[in-house]
Amino acid sequence: MKKVFMLLAVCATVAFASAQTTVRGSKLTDNWSVGVQAGGVTPAYGHKFFGDLRPVVGLTVAKEITPIFGLAAEVNAVINAQHNNIGPTGYPANTHKAFDASNLSGLLRFNLTNLFLGYTGEPRFLDVKAIFGMGWGHEYYGHSNNDRNLLTSKAGLDFGFNLGADKAWQVNVKPAMVWSLTDGIRASEYDKKYAHIELTAGVTYKFLNSNGTHNFALVKEYDQAEVDGLNAKINDLRNQLGAKDQKIAADAAAIKKLQDDLNDCRNKKVPTPPAPDPAKVVNSLETNVFFAQGKSVITAAQQPNVERVASFLKNHPAAKVAIKGYASPEGGKAINDKLSKARANAVKDMLIKKYKVDASRIVSAEGCGVGDLFSEPTWNRVAVSTLSE
């Protein structure tokens, strides 16, 4: 047992050293878990291993201090199988209760996987923990006066299989040895005659931590060169921000000057032009009717432009209109000449037939071939009506 204690001492030293260099910011409320387990217990000496196997159930509440070192409180209760009268420590038992023995232990837990392989910021699929601790055992006999209190000690392993994307759940297989050190009569000793073998399996849930995960999170350590580099970047960004603030101020001043100039223009009085000579006034207006490629049919969307011409002629009895049709560059000359003539006649026919305009008021309706009125070629698929009075 001295070797066991020495190993545990070494593990504890390594665990606390690792806590100083690997993980920081772990709160008291972080890294808690709760687990349930069930299995069997059988005397370690002088009895039939399977013949005297008794069922056991339990609950474990644990707190991980570092990725390597943790603490746990565990309570296991032995179910009265009623197939023998051998108590969990080898003494005869005589009880009709559902549970005839219990053991409450405080345990030290050492994660051997993280101790020897290192912790990378996320648990591996398999964690192996060494467990050791002391406890209080109690055996229930027929009458409370005959119950026995025991000082116990437990040592074993916990094979934990981490499951799920968040590694929040763990399936555990836990073989262990539990000694009854003293029962108030014997001196305290680790003796296999007063021990039993315990094998349980169960499931553990790890609660959510303040770091947003269900496990330890690593904190990156920065050396002084990295800190100096970050400070230099911060100072550079501050300088850039100052230069941008100056540019914004200059732009604001320029905008204000332009706004003042605009207000001056708005407030400037414009001289009234001389009245036109009535004898020289000539009304000359144009309106356009656009056509689809290769078409001379006036669409419903373009009819308001023809109606506008008819309305003007109605309101101005002395006005007349000249219509010129055009085509875009696509196609041959003969086709475009014919198409431009058809577009002019389409406007003429609609004025006469739909809007009842007298034909004598239409000065001309001629096709002009390919037009160049607009820089956009497709816009030259048009009939232009020029009104004059």
pLDDT in tens, 228-250: 888 999 999 999 998 999 999 99
The domain containing residue 335 runs over which residues? 281-388
Residue 114 predicted with pLDDT over 60: yes
CATH number at residue 320: 3.30.1330.60
pLDDT value for 234 = 93
Task: Decide which of 1 and 99 is more confident.
Answer: 99
Rounded CA-CA distance 284/145 in Å is 126
pLDDT band for position 358 (50/70/90)? Answer: very high
Mean residue pLDDT of the chain comes to: 85
Q: How far is CA 330 from CA 211, 336, 337, 366, 377, in A?
A: 70, 8, 12, 20, 9
Rounded CA-CA distance 169/125 in Å is 11
- Say if residue 177 is in the same domain as residue 326: no
* pTM, entire model: 0.53
Last residue of a domain, one of 206, 235, 262: 206
Residue 332 predicted with pLDDT over 80: yes
Pairing of strands 382-388, 362-370: unpaired
Q: Element (H or E) spanning 135, and its range?
A: strand 126-139
pLDDT in tens, 304-329: 999 999 999 999 998 999 999 999 98
- Say if residue 287 is in the same domain as residue 145: no
Last residue of a domain, one of 206, 222, 249: 206
pLDDT value for 89 = 47
Contact, 301 vs 343, CB < 8 A? no
Angle, helices 333-353 vs 303-315, to 10°: value is 50
- Say if residue 140 is in the same domain as residue 43: yes
Structure tokens at 250: 């200059």
Number of helices and strands in the chain (H, E): 5, 12
216 lies in some domain: no
pLDDT band for position 157 (50/70/90)? Answer: very high
Q: Domains in the chain: how many in total?
A: 2
Q: What is the phi/psi pair of residue 184, to 5°?
A: 90, -10
Last residue of a domain, one of 171, 206, 241: 206
pLDDT value for 349 = 93
pLDDT band for position 88 (50/70/90)? Answer: very low
172 lies in some domain: yes
Task: Decide which of 75 and 53 is more confident.
Answer: 75
pLDDT value for 21 = 45
